[in-house]
Amino acid sequence: MVALIRRARRPLIVSHRNPDPDSLGSALGLAAILEALGASPVLAVSQPENIDAVMASIPGTERFHALTTELLSSPPDARPFDVLFSVDTASMRLLSADEDVRTALRAIRPIVNIDHHVTNDRYGDVNYVVSDAAAAAEVIWMLLSTLGGGISRDGAIALQAGLVADTLGFQTKETGPRTLRAAAALQALGGATADIPRRVLNVRTFEATRLLGAALAAAVRSEDGRVVWTQVSERMAADVGARIADSQGIPNALQDVADAVAVAVFYEIDASRTRVSLRSQGPRIDRVAAAFGGGGHALAAGATVDAPLDIATEQVLTRLHEALNGR
Ligand SMILES: [Mn+2]
């Protein structure tokens, strides 16, 4: 792994679609490591236009190219890629919805898969999957400390943003001594922990605030009190002058309900598809997400269900109750 990083001259760094602060921050952190070693990395994600204002506060996000067949067939400066680094991404399928893009990505060798998802399917030629790491950014920091090299201040800020976001400000069960050592080291490199949490965790738009309120007011609790869930419909969003894409922080707010063991938030994508985010305080819920073609972590996972909002809600809740009852 270390040899591959040292040898790379023109690496392509990619991460999953529907970007989040950890996917972007860990990619930017890896880019900073490679740059400190003299390489010229190119960064790409599917639909970089989906990088919202919160994520755009991470320095360097404007560097992401759209991950398209055009980028892969005619790379910037006509310099071919000599290695593909994929970060925070459990399977190739999550990099792009476009089969042609995935085929073109597979033509770049070697593929180096750096991740922290338990559901990672080891699609790389080299796989560095640390499933007890709290964030992909923590795994990147492990590489940095092994290399013993330097990193720019912006790189440190990007990695700190990934750590802070995936741990919800160092609150998740995955947050361990190594996570905090990474945070301390990144703070010493200029990635302060005072300013970044507000930027990536707390700040939300006015529209997202109103939508959060509506979604919380519509919350439902199961009879046994163990599951709390809500639906975010097109209509709910329109009623508060927002779009579903504005939604932010709903699962995290619901999981603070006392005695709730698991939380589910259902988002209407269109008339036949529903996205679900799941959180758990203990029982594994990644298998519930996997049953619907999704994935994630033991205690935080999600899926896109091919069913309308109400039907998807019923299907997932049934599975979720089975999982909580150990069936
Ligand atoms: Mn992550």
Q: Specify whether 35 is located in the same domain as 141.
A: yes
Looking up residue 114, the CATH number of its domain turns out to be 3.90.1640.10
Residue-wise pLDDT tens digits, 237-262: 999 999 998 898 899 899 989 999 99
Whether 67 has a pLDDT exceeding 80, the answer reads yes
Q: Specify whether 240 is located in the same domain as 290.
A: yes
Report whether 113 contacts 88 (CB < 8 A).
no
User: Of 202, 221, 240, at which residue does a domain stop?
Assistant: 202
Looking up residue 223, the CATH number of its domain turns out to be 3.10.310.30
Distance 26 CA to ligand 1 centre (A): 8
Q: Specify whether 123 is located in the same domain as 251.
A: no
Distance 185 CA to ligand 1 centre (A): 19
Please give the order of strands across the beta sheet that includes 220-221.
220-221, 227-232, 262-270, 273-280, 300-305, 295-296
pLDDT of residue 1: 84
Q: Specify whether 263 is located in the same domain as 161.
A: no
Domain with 179, as residue range(s), is: 2-202
Q: Which amino acid is at 244?
A: I
Residue with tokens 């799941």: 278
Mean pLDDT taken over the chain: 94
Distance 142 CA to ligand 1 centre (A): 15
Distances (CA, A) of 168 to 126, 162, 186, 270: 29, 10, 17, 29
Q: Specify whether 304 is located in the same domain as 158.
A: no
What is the rounded average pLDDT of the residues 192-206?
84
Return the minimum-mean-pLDDT range out of 21-30, 51-60, 299-308: 51-60
Q: Specify whether 195 is located in the same domain as 66.
A: yes
What is the rounded average pLDDT of the residues 37-48?
96
Distance 70 CA to ligand 1 centre (A): 27
Q: Specify whether 125 is located in the same domain as 157.
A: yes
Whether 31 has a pLDDT exceeding 70, the answer reads yes
Distance 128 CA to ligand 1 centre (A): 14
pLDDT of residue 156: 97
Residue % of the chain over a pLDDT of 90: 84
| pLDDT band at residue 317 under the 50/70/90 scheme | very high
What is the rounded average pLDDT of the residues 117-134?
95
User: Of 179, 202, 225, at which residue does a domain stop?
Assistant: 202
pLDDT of residue 311: 98
What is the rounded average pLDDT of the residues 129-140?
97
Q: Specify whether 135 is located in the same domain as 226.
A: no
Whether 176 has a pLDDT exceeding 90, the answer reads yes
Q: Specify whether 7 is located in the same domain as 109.
A: yes
Which residues have beta carbons under 5 A from ligand 1 (an ion)?
Answer: 22, 88, 136, 166
Q: Specify whether 122 is located in the same domain as 242.
A: no
pLDDT of residue 190: 93
Distance 214 CA to ligand 1 centre (A): 28
Q: Specify whether 291 is located in the same domain as 151.
A: no
What is the rounded average pLDDT of the residues 290-304?
92
pLDDT of residue 199: 82
Whether 327 has a pLDDT exceeding 70, the answer reads no
pTM summary value? 0.80
Distance 44 CA to ligand 1 centre (A): 17
Distance 174 CA to ligand 1 centre (A): 11
Q: Per the structure, how many domains does the chain have? A: 2
Distance 178 CA to ligand 1 centre (A): 16
Q: Specify whether 197 is located in the same domain as 214.
A: no
Which one is predicted more confidently, 95 or 198?
Answer: 95
Distance 134 CA to ligand 1 centre (A): 8
pLDDT of residue 149: 79
User: Of 171, 186, 202, at which residue does a domain stop?
Assistant: 202
